[in-house]
Amino acid sequence: MNIPETRTALLRCCRAFLFAYFLVSPSLWPQGNQGTIEGMVVDQSGAALLGAKLTATNDATGIRFQTTSDSNGLFTLPVLPVGTYTIEVEHPGFAKLTQKNITLSVGARLNLNLSLSVAGQTQSVTVADEPPLVETTRSQLSSTVNDLATVLSH
């Protein structure tokens, strides 16, 4: 083997190593200043809740991130900036759940198991301003009734 062939073989080896390094290494690098919040939403009996709406609000910036739970009650809020979050969970028929001071650090995968309780019954009363059924400013209605009674008696 002569020197040019050795250099060519060495150069090929280096290229292959660099290619493999750059291909694999991004998945090994830390994800900057981000983390993930994941978990499960269940009811009081432990049954998974499909379609629960989750909102993570960064307390420092006010930026909101939203997702919904899948058929197994699982949710993932990936690639969140590090910081302190308030998590709100809503689902029809259940009381809204709020968890504050959830701290997410660099590269963390926080696992939250969230249990919703059935909402209490609420009543609402609607008051509408409607005109009175009887005109209170004139007595014409009573004379009309009397005229009608006179007509009916004949």
Residue 122: which residues within 8 A CB-CB, separation 6 or more?
none
Give domain 31-115's CATH superfamily: Carboxypeptidase-like, regulatory domain (2.60.40.1120)
Window from 33-37, 40-44, 59-63, 123-127 with minimum mean pLDDT: 123-127
Going by C-alpha positions, the residue among 31, 87, 90 that lies closest to residue 55 is: 87
**Predicted structure pTM score:** 0.59
Q: How confident is the model at residue 120 (pLDDT cuts 50, 70, 90)?
A: confident
- 50-96 per-position pLDDT tens digit: 999 999 999 999 999 999 999 999 999 999 999 999 999 999 999 99
Q: Looking at residue 124, what is its pLDDT?
A: 46
Domain spans of the chain? 1-30, 31-115
pLDDT band at 21 (very low <50, low <70, confident <90, very high): low
The two structure tokens encoding residue 132: 């009175």
Cβ count within 10 A of residue 116: 19
Residues whose CB falls within 8 Å of the CB of residue 141, separated by 6 or more in sequence, listed in order: 134, 135
Q: For 8-22, give one letter per residue: b (16+ CB within 10 A) or e.
A: eeeeeeeeeeeeeee
